[in-house]
Amino acid sequence: MASNKITQLTYQMNILNSLEIKEDIYSPIFSTGDNLLWQLWFVPIIRNPMNNKEYCSIYILPVANPDETSWRKRSKFSIKLSVKEIKNFQTYNLISSNNELSISPDTKIENGYGYPEAFERTSLYNGELIICVTFDNIEYRDNKQYNNSISLDPLPENLVAAWKNQLFNIQPVDVEFNVQGEKFYACSSILIQRSKYFENALSGMWAESTVNNQNEDIYNETKVEKNIKEGETDKEIVDSVKSVDLKDNSEEMNEEKLKQQIKHRIYISDYKPFSFAKMLCYLYTNQIDWTNDNNGMDETTDENISFTIEIYCIADRYLLTDLRQRAKNRIFEELTVNNVAEIMFRLVPKYEDLKEPILSFMAENFEEVCNSKGFKDVLANPNDYTYYNRIMSEVLSQHFKIQKARLNK
């Protein structure tokens, strides 16, 4: 089906009897493509205590997707707001569309942008307000048949199958994860459908479990992972799993019932409970919340990328290809001159597919990287990085190539 490529899109909201509006008005949610949703917000009365004048405010609000924490994807747009009023066939321009909103990519996604004192309320004629937002530099394909709908990514087949199975064959939680002392519970039927790793771990290929729970699977996941990498057979792995009797240390009936349900107990020490919980939510919903709100910490760039890296490593461990790719893209988006050195020296040697973009970023910005705290920390502790000499050589070599190319231009 043919589609037209559009580079500019304008959305407008019309409001009648402007002086009679006393409460905030929000436009319907609209899209600029790529599942990026927006909303216009009009505030009819804002009083400035300094001059005691009343103003009207207008804003463009991002309607965030579950995996959005900043304006990074949206900052590529050139955004302009304009307001005019029509009264008795006369048009009055209250805000022109010449001024472009400048929004940093690192701005938190919950923040809207616009004009808190757009124009004085005394400028209104009680006519029809027309509030417009214009987006430039967009890649929006207007499909003639579905141009009024929002395109959503279909759910993965394995997630649909998992929930269908849960619907017609109700299964209580039967897997307990002990992640650094914090416990999480899940249904093996969901885990098996969503991850090949858990399919092998929970369906009897790596460990045996019994229906009546007289013997339950208890194993340290790190040990099992080590055995897999060393190429042990399924029987050898089964032999390494310890089956023990449950100890009744619970006085509460619901805890006793839960204990009787659990068939698999998995101990995990490699990852933080907060990150592991995010991964479990992804398995159940196919969505990942990138908000790093663990313990209410402030979200700095370095904390964000540390969280993203851990999600990437978890996804790699549990063979979650889609989640791994999402985290990989975010790692590239969140690169800065301060964090790139640590990533290059510690993470890249383990994951070769990260190398080229990160090496290029570091080499192209090498002068700034050299002055960063992150790079100085690496230089101060070279023994902490197994491939320090090799990586430093590659970075310098790439940097000199770039410098030479620039000089030859």
DSSP H helices in 57-156: none
Q: Which residue has the higher pLDDT, 256 or 291?
A: 291
**Residue 27 reports pLDDT greater than 70:** yes
CB atoms closer than 10 angstroms to residue 360 = 12
Arithmetic mean of pLDDT, 12-27? 91
CB atoms closer than 10 angstroms to residue 111 = 13
Segment 117-164, tens digit of pLDDT: 999 999 999 999 999 999 887 554 333 333 333 334 566 777 777 666
Segment 52-84, tens digit of pLDDT: 999 999 999 998 887 788 888 888 888 999 999
Arithmetic mean of pLDDT, 370-394? 93
Arithmetic mean of pLDDT, 373-392? 93
Segment 188-199, tens digit of pLDDT: 888 988 898 998
CATH fold match for the domains 8-136 and 156-211+257-291+299-334: no
Segment 144-155, tens digit of pLDDT: 333 333 334 566
Instruction: Provide, rounded to the nearest whole percent, the portion of the chain with pLDDT above 90.
Output: 41
Cβ-Cβ contacts under 8 Å for 362 (sequence gap 6 or more): 340, 341, 344, 369, 395, 398
Residue type, position 152, single letter: L
Residue 4 confidence (pLDDT): 46
Cβ-Cβ contacts under 8 Å for 303 (sequence gap 6 or more): 292, 297
Segment 243-253, tens digit of pLDDT: 333 333 334 54
- How crowded is the C-beta side of 265, counted as CA atoms within 13 Å? 18
Residue 393 confidence (pLDDT): 94
**Residue 205 reports pLDDT greater than 60:** no
Tokens of 76: 């590529």
Instruction: Provide, rounded to the nearest whole percent, the portion of the chain with pLDDT above 70.
Output: 74
**Residue 110 reports pLDDT greater than 80:** no
Mean of all residue pLDDT scores within the chain: 78
Phi, psi (degrees; rounded to nearest 5) at 366:
-65, -35
Secondary element (H or E) of residue 13: strand 3-15
Contact 83, 95 (CB under 8 A): yes
Q: Which class is domain 8-136?
A: mainly beta
Q: Which CATH number applies to 156-211+257-291+299-334?
A: 3.30.710.10
Arithmetic mean of pLDDT, 200-212? 56
Residue 171 confidence (pLDDT): 66
Contact 60, 282 (CB under 8 A): no
Domain ranges within the chain, ordered by starting residue:
8-136, 156-211+257-291+299-334, 337-408
When mean pLDDT is compared over 257-266, 325-334, 375-384, the highest value belongs to 375-384
